[in-house]
Each structure stands twice: as structure tokens, then as C-alpha cells.
Amino acid sequence: MEKGIQEFAIDTARKAGALLKDNVGRIGSIEFKGAVDIVTDVDRKSEALIIDAIKKAFPSHGILAEESPELKQDSPFKWIIDPLDGTTNYSHGFPFFCVSIGLEISGEVVFGVVYDPMMDELFTAEKGKGATLNGKKIAVSAIGELGKSLLATGFPYDLRSSADNNLDFFSEFSLRAQAIRRAGSAALDLCYIASGRFDGYWEMKLKPWDVAAGSLIVSESGGKITGFSGGPFSIYGKECLASNSLIHEEMTRILSRR
């Protein structure tokens, strides 16, 4: 893949991240897309910045972004964007959020960048070439037992109305793992798997922009990412199980019980 595309993605993620950081505590509007699903004016500003940059640099490329209609093009290139992953955190001033940009070519994610502007941490991965954090190679943890593992998860936006809301799995893993964290950004959770900070992560009902970049970063750091039963993972699917590979089978045994 052309180095210029990677540099463009990284530069654009950093610019969007700077916008997010500059506007912490200065949100102009919050809209509710559902009972607990929100979007802010800062989400839209960040998304506009990224989309405008892509249209200017690569006018023939497709774009799939969280807050805008999909731009379909007759091109194998598609950018998959979450301009602010962790909007609820952001709206409350909780400093755990990021920008996520993935590049798909002919249906396969080949490059991903996730930028956390508050920590100034830039996670990247290129298909077949490994994953990095601020330019240094990263790898998953060596924890081999679920009972010694730090896990992460999240809950779907319809948890109040759907019985399929992850509370059952959360309860079971709470009794089996060392601890669980629910920090509120799927993209960063995946990057934390890749960098060895978490050992396992599961979540349901995610969207492509939540996981496009992060899933590649996990696989390129030596981790494993599948559906709940261990089958192939798709960014367009509804199940995400990521781990350091070593505890993956233990996790699938629990997540397969339905």
C-alpha cells in the first residue's frame, strides 16, 4: 500500500483528535438518537473534517462514516470512519475517547489508525506488517488463564429494551476473570488488547466504524478476533470477541452457551 495513504490517514486522525481535545467541555449541542445513544456537534465537526480531507485527497474513494449517509463509489477503496468513539464519555468530560479510521480495499481492511488525543497515543496497523503504538511495535499479553485475565466489554444501546443485552455474559465473566472494565470506547478497547493492557474483550451489536481499524490492530499484534463461537469475524457482523489468543477458547466456551 502506498505510504502516502498511511501518512494521510495518520495526519487526518491527528487533526480530528486535536479538534476533539480542543472542544472538551465546550459541546454546543447534544442530540439523542435513542434512549442512551447520542451525537454531539463535535462528532459532526470531526466527521466533516475527515470526510472533507478524504474527498479532497481521494475524490474517487468511498466513505462509510457514523453520522453521514454512505458515499458509494465505483472504487475498491472505502474509508470507514468513527469521528468520535466514546461520545457519551466525551459529553460527560470522561477522557476516554478516540478517532478511528480504517481503510478497506476490495472488502478487506488493510490499514487502520486509532488516535487517543488525551493520551497522545496513536495506534496503527497495516495488513501483514504488524501494529504499532506511537511508532513502536506492540504485542498482546502472555496471560494464559481466564482467571488471571483483565477483560473489557461494552453494552448495546438497546439494553433497556432487548433481552440480548450482554448482562448475562457480564455476570458470568465477572465470576471467572480477575476483573472486567467497561470504559466506553470499542476502538480503544481493541487497541488495549493489541498492546497487552487487556487480555480479552467481547461486545455485541457493534457497527463497522467501531471495529474496522481496531480489529486489524488486534490481529496484527498477534491477537485473535472472531465471532462469539469462534467463527470468522466480520466488521459488518454483530459479534466481536478479541483476545491475546491464549484465553480465546475459554471465552468462546462461555459465549457459545445460548
Q: Tell me the pLDDT tens digit for each residue of 184-215.
A: 999 999 999 999 999 999 999 999 999 999 99
Q: Specify burial of residue 82 (Cβ count, 10 A radius: 0-12, 13-18, 19+).
A: buried
Between β-strands 179-181 and 150-153, what pairing exists: parallel, antiparallel or unpaired? Answer: parallel
Residue 36: pLDDT over 70: no
| Residue given cell 450482554 in the structure block | 166
26 compared with 69, residue with greater pLDDT: 69
| Residue given cell 455476570 in the structure block | 171
Over residues 232-240, the mean pLDDT reads 97
State which H helix or E strand residue 63 sits in. strand 62-65
The residue type found at 67 is E
Among 29-38, 63-72, 139-148, 183-192, the range scoring the smallest mean pLDDT is 29-38
- The per-residue pLDDT for 35 is 67
CATH 3.30.300.30 applies to domain 3-137: no
Residue 34: pLDDT over 70: no
Over residues 99-104, the mean pLDDT reads 98
Task: Grade residue 30 by pLDDT with cuts at 50, 70 and 90.
Answer: confident
- The per-residue pLDDT for 3 is 78
Q: For residues 66 and 207, is the Cβ–Cβ distance under 8 A? A: yes
> What's the whole-model pTM score?
0.96
Share of the chain above pLDDT 70, in %: 97
Q: What stretch(es) of the chain map to CATH 3.40.190.80?
A: 146-255
| Residue given cell 491464549 in the structure block | 246
Q: What stretch(es) of the chain map to CATH 3.30.540.10?
A: 3-137
CA distances from 152 to 4, 107, 169, 173, 242 (A): 34, 28, 12, 10, 10
Among 44-58, 161-175, 223-237, the range scoring the smallest mean pLDDT is 161-175
CATH number of 146-255: 3.40.190.80
Nearest to 173, CA basis, from 90, 108, 237, 247? 247
Alpha carbon distance 198, 150 (integer Å): 5
Over residues 117-128, the mean pLDDT reads 98
Alpha carbon distance 247, 199 (integer Å): 8
Over residues 218-244, the mean pLDDT reads 97
Helices (H), the chain: 3-22, 41-57, 87-92, 167-176, 186-194, 208-220, 248-255
Cα 186 to the center of its chain, rounded Å: 4
Share of the chain above pLDDT 90, in %: 88
